[in-house]
A and B are shown apart, each in its own frame.
Chain A
Amino acid sequence: MFLRILKKDLKRKKTMNCILLIFVLISAMFAASSVNNIVAVTNGIDYYFEKAGMTDLFIISSEPEGQLIGDMLAEKSSVKSFRREEIIRPSGGELTANGNNMSAELAFVGIMAADSGKLHYFDQDNVEITDCQSGKIYVTPGFSNTIDGGVKIGDKINFSYGDVTLDLEVCGFVKDPFLGAEMMSNYRFLLSHDDYEKLRTAKGVDSADLCGVYYVETEDIEGVSSDVVSAGSVLFCQPQRIVRLSYILYTLVAGILLIASVGLLIVSFMVMSFAINFTIAEDMHEIGVMKALGLRNSSIRWLYLVKYLCISLVGAAIGFAASLPFSRLLLKSVSQNMVLGNDNSFLFGALSSAAVVLLTLAFCWHFTRKIKTLSPIDAVRSGQTGERFHKKSLISLNKSHMNSTLFMALNDIFSSPKQFTLLTAVFAICAVIIMVLANAANTLKSDKLLFLVGTTKSDVYISGTSSLFDSDEELEQFLEEKGIPAKVHSEGLYNLPVVAGDKRIGLMFQYCSKTHASDYVYEEGSAPQHSSEVALSFIAAEELDVGIGDKVTITINGQDQQFMVTALIQSFCQLGESGRLHESVDMTGASLSSIMGWQIDFTDSPDKEEFQRRFDLMTEYFGEDSVFDAEGFVDDTIRSADTVNSVKSLLLAVVLFIVLLICVLMEHSFISREKQEIALMKALGFRTSQIAAQHTLRFAIVGAASAILAAALCLPLTKLAIDPVFGMMGATKGVSYKLEPLEVFIVYPAIIIAAVAVGALITSLSIKKIKASDTSGNE
């Protein structure tokens, strides 16, 4: 008998059952894909590094005269093993890709023979690259992303280096575990052995271009790196955890995706709980009849459990299947640069979908508990006992002067506050997800993060052209000749060993002799005022277990010097493992890792027009990809804004789809429930358009309320969600966010409201099918 009742119910209430099915499907899809993201990315880094053969310590040194570092490592007892890779880091030359002049990017390129790799390199199909054909080249995806339109397989790259010119064809993209993360801002080219040898023996090139990359297995990472750095000529020396952190961007992206996925998961569960509660409330009359006939409460509840079990099993199965391509879509930007291990994600996804089924049953059990408390006749009256202890609605038609359509819409909202509050919360969460990402992306390319990059604010920044000029003065002169009176300075980055007590680490120090230490931002303490004072990042201070007033020993050019810590800073430099030296410190002979580009300050205070003219002139000369204002410089340095923006755009599409779907399904539910009332309104003489307007208006009001709520919460929620993300990058004390009022408070709210209204309007047109004579309410 129960089976018959169930079959009839599923057949008779097709609309509501379909709506429920879709909500369960969405919940299962998001649950499975969210968990899949977590598993694939967090385990993925371990899996990738293990597969690639990554070691404990990574060193890049300039070795024009031989394997100095190699010899040192061979002698150290604490070094278990090491491998050496040879690469060319061109300091000059000409590079074009698809006709685009990419010479400025050569400063970040490491060229290697594909058959000489000491790590495992993979192509986009995760097949290991062990060789390359002559005339072909593998590039890292990061290089492709620097070119407008990117490069595809088959595109041409022309490289002139010394007296050698190579015409190469892109045959694939390489996943470089060491330098492949975009945050490393380095690219790897893999060539054939022969092509590499031609470059290696090219004439008229700087011998310092030849570098050795050492992959070192050791337990004494601090000791080895400190000794290595002291030897000089070291361009890079970092443990695996720093390299791992360079993938932080992908973890960040995945983390942002996770936050968004969790938000969407909450949305889908809220809506699912509404749908279950709604459908059970609709069935109260029938439940009452069953109670009146003498069926036990447990029997009635079991009937519904079985019904929801059937629906949720189907929904969860389809949702799980849909989660697989959805998850792949979301992870696409991450898997471009990594080999992701996903052996268990299938299992976790299936378990998540099963959890959705259990949750559905839990909701069902929870919302049917009312059956126990209602008498049969109360249930027959759809839960109405005839008693009321508070006002039904806040407004009355007889006391209001509102337009009747507006009144009816508002009255519906006030009469069912829980229902519409839930909708408001759902749409607010959807809006907040996008606003938070927008705030993060806008901040990542604003000058609000300039202090984290460790530079002062200048009029113009030129990066990637350090090879064009030998000194600040040379650039100043060049600019003077072009009619641009300016002062030029640049931030130098020095990788120096630091000792405090028994702790030793290598830190990246920022130093500029032409600025004052007091020009920079310090979170605690005061700026170094003497050459014996230093500022450390919070992370560095924690690692060294020092605070303001403590002393540390820094080795500069082979000499140990004592410094007092006077201030603590936040910094993105080397993911927070950095410090700043006073401008009077003598850095002669110290090995400069890199400079952060030229900073140009005009000395004649030009007006806006003249400023722009000079900016355009420099852009013309140095290239669009090299000349920036402060915001552009931050974006170019951090290189995360575009990725976050892409994620935001993807999620905007997903969120809009969800909002539309929720509106359509909710409005269908409402129409199904209110069919009799709609028929009555038509019988009384209401037009279809008037009823549709009322239905659309109530959703639009909810949309507007959610937009206001989201706007009010977006900044605190941005801090809550994104501060930890920036903290992982080195900003441990939080940042000030850049809010674009038009985008965040007008555009996105308007989009959400429009989506809500459109979804409701389109669905409400089905009111046309309801006739005035349908007052009996039969489906």
Chain B
Amino acid sequence: MDLLRLPLAGSLLTRRHARTLLQLPLFVVSAAMIIHGLFGPQLAPRNLATTLSWVHFRGALVLVLLLAGNFFCLACPFMLVRNLARKFFHPVRNWPRRLRNKWLSVGLFVVMLFLYEWLDLWASPWWTAWLIVAYFAGALLIDSVFKHATFCKFVCPIGQFNFVAATVSPFEVAVRDHDVCDRCATKDCIRGVREPAAPLVSIQRGCELALFQPRKTGNVDCTFCLDCVQACPHDNVGIISRVPAMELVSDPMRSGIGYFSRRRDLAVLAVVFGFGALLNAFGMVSPVYALEQWLAKLFHVNTEFPVLASVFAFFLVLEPLLLIGVASWLTRVWGGSKRPWLSLAVRYSYSLVPIGFGIWLAHYSFHFLTGLYTFIPVTQSALTDFGWAILGQPRWGLPGLAPNVVQLFEFGFITLGLLGSLLVSYSIAVTEELVHPVRAFIPWATLALLIAGAAFWLLSQPMDMRAVVLGSG
């Protein structure tokens, strides 16, 4: 199926200014969130910034990634401002070569997860508003200085989350007919289209993320911006259905990315994505507070920063190192693989993406579905705060779906993620290990089962949201 060939969606998405049309409403909503976050009520359930960011945006994001693809990046409001700025600034610098990888963005992704817990972003409209401002400022600043889509490809933590999650999406931006590309002489999808009479004037961008369509594989680094769709003179690029997660199995030379098996930075991003999902869910249940109190006593501290830092160091560094190290070692020793253990760790780490996505999906859809209608009274209240009470008085107490019903969805998502991880690790083992593929598969299957077991346990715990357990600092 090709979404661009569908009657309604196709005609909308192939319009020249489709992206701007999708970005504008999100920009208006973002501006309202910033204003309400900074100047509105500071109780999180009463504020647009916290309600829309941590309930609706995250939930809608993962559900759209599950059902379609990376459509948030397509409608990203940060890029609207950046594109406007590019009408005045024409960057000439290239992003430093040393930073052309995912290490910086992996670090920023971890910082984001840390700030979420440390600053209790979920409970703070003020900090949430500043976070949105920081994203706008970051995109504007970086892409005003550096060429191409530097912010999206190398910096944006949300973008990296979307790139990894979109590997399990059922659609990708892809070439319709490779024979057409073979005959194409202009390669406009990557070069862009220039004014014939004035070759220095660009009338349509090519891919700013260096993804050359004929050699592009999968969704990593693809923002669904559809520049390639607009640029292709042969109407040969679509949004095409595919088998989810299979791009994690194959290891071809990918345009703009290289080989997955040689990208340690990408593998670490996949690992942080997987274990970060557990850690983020761990932050909303009771046992985390008992652990924090215990660590505070152990370290003789009463501030949260060192305690939280050690929790993060354990769950995002030590635990993955240990578990992936053991799985790689077993694959080598017991599975008979000839590859070095680090190479095995990199290759198989991608198999953690589906279970990680299943946990993110379970966690975010819980908030989204149980708080589904909360945007209505919060919007009514915000409009009243802005002096424009056109929607009437807020109807507080509008319920979403019942938590016990949503829990069934949560368990379903984790199970789906587990099956995906088992399928990917088995397929990698069959592809890579000729002698004992099943033996090579078992350590990684065990790891996926352990993660899924931890997720089932976490999501069975009573939810417990506390803004302050220890002192700040």
Partners in one complex: no
Give B residues with C-beta under 8 Å from A.
none
